Amino acid sequence: MTGIVAIKPEGGKESRAVAASADMENTFWPDPAKDPRVQPILDNFANFAGEGSVAHDDDIDAYSQAVNWLRQRYWSSDHLDKAYEEITKGKDTNPVATGSPCPCCGQPVEITPNGWTCSHCTSFVNGSKRRMVKAGF
């Protein structure tokens, strides 16, 4: 089949899931109240405790292998730095007052003890951690 790339999984399902767990936790999932397909997926991940612990552990393994593969190839710090530069190009990325425009969506930000946060697009800077959400994504 063309377009399919075989990869040899490293470690077991549990170790791969642990390696991808931060990405799972930081993914914005659709509201389960609006889409009934979401809650079973979230429950499957939440109840996973190793191979065979949930009925659909292959779903978790497929997700974790995809995340780990993407992280190695496309989600390196260089790639994220380039995305950050694209999103914030020409914008003030260090708002100093509540009400200053968010560098991602232009809505007012709130200043926090270690940075700022935007309640509109959920972008934030908190010390050395940052998340920038490009408007329209």
Q: Domain of 59?
A: 13-73
| 33 within some domain | yes
Q: Are 77 and 128 in contact (CB under 8 A)?
A: no
Q: What is the per-residue pLDDT across 87-102, written as a single tens digit (0 to 9) for each?
A: 677 777 777 788 888 8
Instruction: Determine the 3-state secondary structure of 74 from DSSP.
Output: coil
DSSP per-residue codes, 9-73: --S-HHHHHHHHHHHHHTS-PPPTTT-TTHHHHHHHHHH--STTSSTTHHHHHHHHHHHHHHHHH
Report the pLDDT value the prediction gives residue 65, as an integer from 0 to 100.
87
Q: Could you tell me if 70 and 77 are in contact, meaning their C-beta atoms sit under 8 angstroms apart?
A: no
Residue type, 89: K
Residues 41 and 69 grouped into a single domain: yes
Q: Based on the domain organization, do 68 and 19 belong to the same domain?
A: yes
Asked if residue 100 and residue 65 are part of one domain, the reply reads no
More confident residue, 15 or 94: 15
Instruction: Give the model confidence (pLDDT) of 75-86 as tens digits.
Output: 665 666 666 677
Mean pLDDT of 70-74: 73
pTM: 0.50
Q: Kindly state whether residue 113 falls inside one of the protein's structural domains.
A: yes
Domain count, the chain: 2
Residues 67 and 101 in one domain: no
Q: Is position 120 within any domain?
A: yes
Q: Is residue 53 part of a domain?
A: yes
In a domain, 7, yes or no: no
User: What percent of the chain lies above the pLDDT cut of 70?
Assistant: 85
Q: How many CA atoms lie within 13 A of 12 on its CB side?
A: 5
Q: How far apart are CA 137 and CA 134, in angstroms?
A: 6
**6 assigned to some structural domain:** no
